[in-house]
């Protein structure tokens, strides 16, 4: 039985992670910290046996037998909490974005290595059933080598946090570290790594703020250059519809995903293309993505058990933060293409 603590018991913790822990037989959430008294009440209702704390520092001081800490606060606090947990000897599962700066991400990576504890990001979109299907299609060779991918993420508004705390924290730069690029960029970027089979070398980006009452961007256009192709990522909080539309363009065909629906074209090189269509229930509308959590946690557990402290997932999380940071710089410099200097596979 793994003993875990949760820090931040808001939307993703309460609706996503905790219900998934309850359904597992190998995890016991023994402690929960949240700065909001109302959220501690919610934690008490969901986990009557857990010890509750108004501060994560107190939790980490008093809870001395934790296997892992699950960090579910807004991004500005991720690095400090994760570092403190590692120093107390706990493994860390951390919501995206891992941190709000590359320097913090590198500090976490170094601490994982020093303390011999896993840091694992919640890169849960990889675990959506239709996204797993996309990887199967690539591996089958049916669309040939993938040279370009497009990832459109349409949202009609920013995601809201629980009403008991600061529901619009995602539009506050200090708390969120940025706007939609910081909040959602990771999901698109780690999918491009999987689909193009490598990490990007350069990025050019344009951020826009259409809803000007906030100090964070609500639209991002980014083009990532890879050794074997490119990715175009468009993220918006000002769309007229909520959905994802992804396309993977291969030498011999293509896969287009529209939420659960997919359309696969194969045999283009033969001059007789074949089109298949289907649908895979992936629960995109449930923003807690609680159905995807189990297989993500299985990977975290495997990393803890095998001592894979600085694994591929952590390196990809560092790469995501570097791309987000570089998107902001590129946009500020007139969308100039900028190199991504840090080779995360080498650190
Ligand atoms: N992977 C996903 O699909 C996904 C989906 C939603 C949210 N998230 C991520 O989860 C994190 C939380 O987002 P959310 O939507 O649950 O937000 P939320 O506002 O609903 O919850 C945040 C909770 O953290 C608490 N909190 C704030 N500062 C704290 C601190 N210093 N110590 C302890 N508790 C603190 C708040 O009281 C609140 O209960 C963010 O990093 C977000 O990006 C990921």
Distance in angstroms (rounded) separating the CA atoms of residues 236 and 218: 6
As given in the structure block, the two tokens for residue 113 are 């290595």
Ligand 1 centre to CA of 192 (Å) is: 25
Q: Using the atom order of ligand 1, give the atom closest to the CA of residue 33.
A: 33
Ligand 1 centre to CA of 159 (Å) is 11
Q: Which atom of ligand 1 is nearest to the CA of 77?
A: 31
Residue 43's SS3 state is helix
186 lines ligand 1 (CB under 6 A): no
Give the residue, out of 7, 95, 120, with the most ligand 1 atoms within 8 A of its beta carbon, to mutate for a pocket test: 95
- Domains observed in the chain: 2-124+292-310 (3.40.50.720), 126-283+319-339 (3.30.360.10)
**Tokens encoding 278:** 């289907």
Give one word for 209, left, alpha or beta, with left for phi > 0 and alpha for psi -120 to 50. Answer: beta
Q: Specify the ligand 1 atom closest to the Cα of 287.
A: 5
**Is residue 162 within 6 Å of ligand 1 at its C-beta?**
yes
182 CA → ligand 1 middle, Å: 14
Q: What rounded mean pLDDT belongs to the chain?
A: 98
- In sequence order, the 6+-apart residues with CB closer than 8 A to the CB of 34 are 7, 8, 9, 10, 40, 43, 52, 54
Nearest to 147 by CA among 27, 255, 284: 255
What's the confidence (pLDDT) of residue 194?
98
Whole-number pLDDT of residue 325: 98
The answer to whether residues 44 and 316 touch, using CB atoms and an 8 Å cutoff, is no
Q: Which atom of ligand 1 is nearest to 292's Cα?
A: 3
Spell 18-40 as b/e; 16+ CB within 10 A means b: bebbeeeeebbbbbbbbbbeebb
Residue 322: alpha-carbon gap to chain centroid: 14
Q: In the prediction, which pLDDT does 60 show?
A: 98
Interval between CA 151 and ligand 1 midpoint (Å):
25
Residue closest to 146 by CA, chosen among 178, 191, 105, 104: 191
Ligand 1 binding pocket mutation candidate from 52, 73, 180 (most atoms within 8 A of CB): 73
Q: Which helix (H) or strand (E) holds 190?
A: helix 180-196
DSSP structure string for 269-313: GGT--EEEEEE----TT-TT-HHHHHHHHHHHHHHHHHT-TT-HH
State if residue 185 touches ligand 1 by the CB under 6 angstroms criterion.
no
DSSP alpha helix (H) spans, 25-123? 37-46, 56-62, 78-87, 102-115
Would the CB of 35 count as within 6 Å of ligand 1?
yes
Closest CA to 324 of 124, 146, 105, 114: 105
Q: Give the pLDDT score at 319.
A: 98
Pocket lining: 74 vs ligand 1, CB cutoff 6 Å? yes
Mutate to test the pocket of ligand 1, among 6, 10, 59 (most ligand atoms within 8 A of CB): 10
Pocket of ligand 1 contains residue 70 by CB under 6 Å: no
CA of 15 to the centre of ligand 1 (A): 11
pLDDT < 70: residue spans in the chain: none
Closest protein CA for atom 21 of ligand 1: 10
Q: Which of 66, 33, 32, 62 is nearest to 49 (CA)?
A: 32
Q: Are 156 and 242 in contact (CB under 8 A)?
A: yes
Residues 6+ apart with CB under 8 A from 333: none
Pocket test for ligand 1, best of 6, 12, 181, 324 (most atoms within 8 A of CB): 12
pLDDT digits (tens, 9 = 90+) for 95-123: 999 999 999 999 999 999 999 999 999 99
The number of beta carbons lying within 10 Å of the beta carbon of residue 125 is: 23
Q: Which letter does DSSP use for residue 163 in this model?
A: T
User: Residue 285: is it exposed, middle or buried by C-beta count within 10 angstroms (0-12/13-18/19+)?
Assistant: exposed
The answer, as to whether pTM is greater than 0.95, is yes
Taking CA atoms only, the protein residue closest to ligand 1 atom 25 is 8
Torsional class of 267: left (φ above 0), alpha (ψ -120 to 50), beta (otherwise): left
CB atoms < 10 A from the CB of 274, how many? 12
- Structure token pair of residue 135: 């990887």
Long-range interactions of 57-62: CB distance < 8 A, separation 24+: 57/84, 58/33, 59/5, 59/7, 59/31, 59/32, 59/33, 60/5, 60/84, 60/85, 60/88, 60/90, 62/31
């Amino acid at each position: 039985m793994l003993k875990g603590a949760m820090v931040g018991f808001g939307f993703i913790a309460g609706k996503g992670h905790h219900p998934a822990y309850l359904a597992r037989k190998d995890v016991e959430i023994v402690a929960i910290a949240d700065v909001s008294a109302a959220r501690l009440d919610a934690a008490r209702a969901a986990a009557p046996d857990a010890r509750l704390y108004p501060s994560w520092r107190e939790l980490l001081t008093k809870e001395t037998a934790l296997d892992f800490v699950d960090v579910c606060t807004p991004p500005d606090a991720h690095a400090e909490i994760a570092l403190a947990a590692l120093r107390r000897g706990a493994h860390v599962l951390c919501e995206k974005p891992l941190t709000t700066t590359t320097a913090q991400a590198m500090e976490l990576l170094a601490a994982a290595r020093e303390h011999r504890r896993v840091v694992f990001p919640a890169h849960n979109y990889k675990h959506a059933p239709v996204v797993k299907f996309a990887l199967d299609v690539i591996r089958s060779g049916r669309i040939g080598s993938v040279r370009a991918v497009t990832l459109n993420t349409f949202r009609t508004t920013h995601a809201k946090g629980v009403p008991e705390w600061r529901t619009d924290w995602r539009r506050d730069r200090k708390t969120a570290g940025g706007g939609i690029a910081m909040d959602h960029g990771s999901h698109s970027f780690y999918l491009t790594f999987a689909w193009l089979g490598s990490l990007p070398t350069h990025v050019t980006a344009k951020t826009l703020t259409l809803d000007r009452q906030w100090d964070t961007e609500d639209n991002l256009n980014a083009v990532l250059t890879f050794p074997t192709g490119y990715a175009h990522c468009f993220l918006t909080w000002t769309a007229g519809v909520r959905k994802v539309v992804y396309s993977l363009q291969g030498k011999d065909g293509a896969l287009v995903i529209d939420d659960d629906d997919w359309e696969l074209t194969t045999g283009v090189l033969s001059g007789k293309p074949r089109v298949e269509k289907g649908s895979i229930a992936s629960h995109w509308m449930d923003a807690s993505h609680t159905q995807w959590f189990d297989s993500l946690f299985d990977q975290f557990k495997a990393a803890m058990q095998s001592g894979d402290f600085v694994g591929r997932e952590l390196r990809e999380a560092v790469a995501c933060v570097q791309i987000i940071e570089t998107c902001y710089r590129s946009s500020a410099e007139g969308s100039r293409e900028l190199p991504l200097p840090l080779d995360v596979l080498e650190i």
